[in-house]
């Protein structure tokens, strides 16, 4: 049973590593869209204020 415990821990640690790697690349392109969305939202808010 002792040998099974360490194996499970290794698998759990190996899962978050690969999952975290593919996350950083997508945010880069999304940031550009976020800026555009924010700019459009700000423009809309300004129009409403006017």
Structure confidence by residue, pLDDT tens digits, 20-50: 555 555 555 556 676 777 877 777 765 555 5
Q: Can you give the pLDDT at residue 39?
A: 79
Measured between alpha carbons, how far is 19 from 21 in angstroms, rounded to an integer? 6
Q: Can you give the pLDDT at residue 34?
A: 65
- By the 10 Å C-beta count (0-12 exposed, 13-18 middle, 19+ buried), 21 is classed as exposed
Q: Can you give the pLDDT at residue 40?
A: 75
Specify the length of the chain in residues: 50
């Amino acid at each position: 049973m002792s040998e099974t415990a360490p194996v499970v821990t290794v698998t759990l640690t190996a899962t978050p590593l690969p999952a975290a790697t593919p996350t950083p690349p997508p945010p880069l392109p999304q940031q550009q869209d976020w800026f555009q969305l924010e700019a459009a939202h700000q423009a809309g808010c300004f129009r409403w204020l006017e």
